[in-house]
Structure 1
Amino acid sequence: MHSWVQTLLKPEPVALMVALILLVSLISGMRRGASGSAKHLFFFVWQAIAVIVSLVLAGRGAVYLSPLVRDWLAARDIAVPKEDLGALKQFWYTAVTSLRDFELLRFGVLFLLLYIVMRVVINALEPVLFGLLDAVLPARGRDGRGRGGSPLIAGTASRTTGALIGALLGGGRAFILMACLFVYVSVLPNAFGTDIIRASALYNKTASELLDPVAGDVLKRGPVITQAVEAEFRRVLERKYEVIDAAIPPDIGAAAAAVTKGDKSDEQKARALYDWVGTRIAYDWDKADNYVERGVWKEQAPEDTFKTRKGVCIDVARLYAVMARSVGLDVRVVTGVGMTGDGGYGPHAWNEVKLADGGGAWIPLDATWASSGDWFNPPGFDKTHIREA
């Protein structure tokens, strides 16, 4: 106990937050007295139980329902219409097809919905439980007497008991704070403020003696889980472009047909389109600088890129995808990071094309980089392009 008090008394941010929580809870308990503090303690414990039960049931329910929802959506044979779609339809087809195809997203949505349902059901029981609690611990009136008129356990004894219960509540709240900090540091080890948290003696003692033995093995995978979530949302972004660009403008379709005229194999068509896009579309440095320096992003459709003959990597990749689909190729826009001139990596986009007549293999290509060399399925492509998926 002495060592815990010593860590709590050290003047650092985490210890100060915990001390403030304990002090406020103790004073509040003293003011409420024994009866009021007991009700707050019951409410605190009830809420903790409700959260734990809801999380467990939602997790198990999501695991059970996820494959059922996937199979049900797959049986619907949902296909994105080859026409211009409004914003609402774009959102609908992106959401439905992503739920069907992306397991982590589907689990997350089901988990959230089931958790909300569980909390609604459990919260519906609160009036009954609190009514029973009121019968056992009657509320203190303004005159310090109970509903029946008999004196309550008041004065110093009531305030002392209330303060003790308040301190217990403060300990529970402080533990929740420490648990939240533990999850934050474990899942996002390089995020804002993590250095300050790790420097706290109180946090380190709580984490090593109480939290890590229980959840450490799970949360050590936190960064991996975070990367998986980021990758899943990146796949949803890629799906969004597939839905938005499902319609093929006539002029782009005609150009693609002319470019691939006489080509027989999928690889020949893919190569011809790569050469055409790579030599016709100039990199829009003004657009890139606007985004990097001012945070201003100009969204443009493939038809805009086709007409202006300018665009950044995502614009080039989207135009290539639309042209490739118009001649029957199975293609996708890939987002991730690409190697920069200084040896680092930065956000980038490119394409993958399926060679249906060549064994069904997917090959990568980067028409944006065509002016710097041959980036049509070259050896070592994955060393310069890292797909975050």
Structure 2
Amino acid sequence: MNTWVQALLRPEPVAVMVLLILIGSLIQGVRRGASGSAKHLFFFIWQAVSVVLSLLLAGRAAERLSPLVRDWLLSRNIQVPKHELSTFKQIWYTIVTSLRDFDLLRFGLIFLITYTIFRYLLGWLQPLFGLFYDSVLRISENRRSVGDKLLSGTASRATGAMIGALLGAGRAFVVIAILFVYVSMLPSGPLTESIRSSAFYAKTASELLSPVAGDVLTRGPVFTDAVAAEFRRVLQRKYEVIDSAVPANIEQAAIKVTKKARTDEEKARALYDWVGTRIAYDWDKANNYEDNGVWKEQTPAETFNTHKGVCIDVARLYAVMARSVGLEVRVVTGLGATGKGDYGPHAWNEVRLADQGGGWIPLDATWASSGNWFNPSGFSSTHLRET
């Protein structure tokens, strides 16, 4: 017990925050007295129970409903129209097709919706519990003698102080638990090192939270990476929806470039050569983003007309041209070798060779000027795909 007190009294942010919560709850307990403090403690416990119950029910509901929603969306045979879409329709098709195809996104959305519903429904029960509590309290007060009531002032405040301290301990534990989840899920996040350096946090996390959490939150970084990857897939889907309408001049150019090609691989190679030799890398755009954080979004039509773009622009243009001649293609995001021993954000393409067994081959038209990056051996060593 002494080690807990010593850790709490150290002048560091987490301990100070917990100490303020305890002192504030203690003062509230004295002011409210025994009955008021007990009532707040009762509802604090009820809120905690309702949150846990809602989480459990939402998890079960999402597990059951996710495959049903997927199957229903698949049965609708939703196809993105090939004509130009309004902003609202772009958002609509991005959301609907992403929910259909991306399991983690679908599960997460259903989980959030069902959790909100369960919390709302359980919230309707709170007034009933309040009436029950008040009736029990009135019965107990009626049974007290006049002498007890005369002595109740000081005793009530003392009891309220103890209940307030207990309530403060519960509130502090919730705060520490939130910090524990934050540190586990975002080990490199802001203030993480400061939180870890707290002796009180370290003791609470190691002795109370880690045994309860087990290995669930040790997978936090993995889960965070999975969420980030899913988010990037949604962004990629957004580009696919936006780029579904191919301008006539780009379609005509793609047809002209591939008119002598007979196989899917020959078509993919012809487009790779054409895009790779005609689109210059836009260093001004890249530097403006790296130095000033200013990003200029541009469409494949702008890349086609200006003959300039960064890797994502080149990849999107290649994808639009490839689709216009019947190739199945996707934009891939990940990390590309910089030539300085490290990697940086990058984008490239993969094309499916339907007439050669249906396999996918990688290509990088952005790097075409530096060598052969059309399905070369060792492509995966310089291009790290996000999974």
Given residue 25 of structure 1, which amino acid in structure 2 is its aligned partner?
Answer: S
Q: From 310, 332, 335, give the equivalent of 1:312.
A: 310
Given residue 231 of structure 2, which amino acid in structure 1 is its aligned partner?
Answer: F
In structure 2, distance between residues paired with 1:180 and 1:126? 24
Q: 198-207 or 221-230, which moves further after superposition?
A: 198-207
Q: Number of paired residues?
A: 380
Identity fraction in percent: 69
SS in 1 for 2:215: helix
Given residue 306 of structure 1, which amino acid in structure 2 is its aligned partner?
Answer: F
Q: What is aligned with 2:156?
A: 158
Q: What is aligned with 2:67?
A: 67
Change in CA separation of 1:153 and 1:90 when aligned onto 2, cut-off 3 Å? farther
Change in CA separation of 1:7 and 1:353 when aligned onto 2, cut-off 3 Å? same
Change in CA separation of 1:122 and 1:204 when aligned onto 2, cut-off 3 Å? same
Q: What is aligned with 1:221?
A: 219
Q: What is aligned with 2:281?
A: 283
In structure 2, distance between residues paired with 1:294 and 1:200? 35
In structure 2, distance between residues paired with 1:269 and 1:64? 44
Q: From 265, 268, 271, give the equivalent of 1:267.
A: 265
Q: What is aligned with 2:245?
A: 247
In structure 2, distance between residues paired with 1:298 and 1:9? 51
SS in 1 for 2:216: helix
Q: What is aligned with 1:49?
A: 49
Q: 210-219 or 42-51, which moves further after superposition?
A: 210-219
Q: What is aligned with 2:118?
A: 118
Q: From 349, 362, 365, give the equivalent of 1:364.
A: 362
Change in CA separation of 1:153 and 1:129 when aligned onto 2, cut-off 3 Å? farther
Q: What is aligned with 1:347?
A: 345
Q: What is aligned with 1:299?
A: 297
Change in CA separation of 1:254 and 1:152 when aligned onto 2, cut-off 3 Å? farther
SS in 2 for 1:378: coil
Q: What is aligned with 1:107?
A: 107
The Cα of 1:196 is off from its aligned counterpart by 1.4
Are the aligned partners of 1:33 and 1:154 in contact in 2 as well (CA < 8 Å)? no
The Cα of 1:106 is off from its aligned counterpart by 0.6
In structure 1, distance between residues paired with 2:278 and 2:251? 16
Q: What is aligned with 2:231?
A: 233
The Cα of 1:40 is off from its aligned counterpart by 0.6
Given residue 282 of structure 1, which amino acid in structure 2 is its aligned partner?
Answer: A
Given residue 34 of structure 1, which amino acid in structure 2 is its aligned partner?
Answer: A
Q: What is aligned with 1:207?
A: 205
Q: 151-160 or 310-319, which moves further after superposition?
A: 151-160
Q: From 167, 170, 174, give the equivalent of 1:169.
A: 167
Q: What is aligned with 1:376?
A: 374
In structure 1, distance between residues paired with 2:36 and 2:283? 66
In structure 2, distance between residues paired with 1:123 and 1:346? 48
In structure 2, distance between residues paired with 1:331 and 1:124? 51
2:22 is the alignment partner of 1:22:
yes
Q: Which runs of 5+ in 2 are unaligned?
A: none
Given residue 102 of structure 2, which amino acid in structure 1 is its aligned partner?
Answer: F
Given residue 25 of structure 2, which amino acid in structure 1 is its aligned partner?
Answer: S
Change in CA separation of 1:152 and 1:192 when aligned onto 2, cut-off 3 Å? farther
Q: Please list, as runs of the form range in 1=range in 2, the aligned pairs for 1:320-339 lying within 5 A after superposition.
A: 320-339=318-337
In structure 1, distance between residues paired with 2:350 and 2:295? 25
In structure 2, distance between residues paired with 1:193 and 1:301? 38
SS in 1 for 2:352: strand
Are the aligned partners of 1:338 and 1:386 in contact in 2 as well (CA < 8 Å)? yes
In structure 1, distance between residues paired with 2:334 and 2:124? 46
In structure 2, distance between residues paired with 1:178 and 1:298? 41
Are the aligned partners of 1:83 and 1:247 in contact in 2 as well (CA < 8 Å)? yes
In structure 2, distance between residues paired with 1:358 and 1:329? 12
The Cα of 1:131 is off from its aligned counterpart by 2.1
Q: What is aligned with 1:127?
A: 127
Deviations 1:98-120 (A, max 9, x none): 11111100100000000011011
Deviations 1:123-153 (A, max 9, x none): 1111222122233336xxxxxx99xxx8587
Deviations 1:179-227 (A, max 9, x none): 1111111111111111111111111111111111111311111111110
In structure 1, distance between residues paired with 2:8 and 2:137? 34
Query: Under a length normalisation based on structure 1, what TM-score does the superposition of the two structures give?
Result: 0.95
Q: 261-270 or 373-382, which moves further after superposition?
A: 373-382
Q: What is aligned with 1:9?
A: 9
In structure 2, distance between residues paired with 1:379 and 1:117? 52
Deviations 1:43-63 (A, max 9, x none): 100100010000000001101
The Cα of 1:384 is off from its aligned counterpart by 1.2
Deviations 1:301-341 (A, max 9, x none): 10111011111111111100000000000001111111113
Deviations 1:356-375 (A, max 9, x none): 01111111111011111111
SS in 2 for 1:183: helix
Q: What is aligned with 2:256?
A: 258
Given residue 352 of structure 1, which amino acid in structure 2 is its aligned partner?
Answer: E
Q: Please list, as runs of the form range in 1=range in 2, the aligned pairs for 1:59-98 lying within 5 A after superposition.
A: 59-98=59-98
In structure 2, distance between residues paired with 1:219 and 1:113? 23
Q: Which runs of 5+ in 1 are unaligned?
A: 139-144
Q: What is aligned with 1:197?
A: 195
In structure 2, distance between residues paired with 1:305 and 1:165? 67
In structure 1, distance between residues paired with 2:188 and 2:307? 40
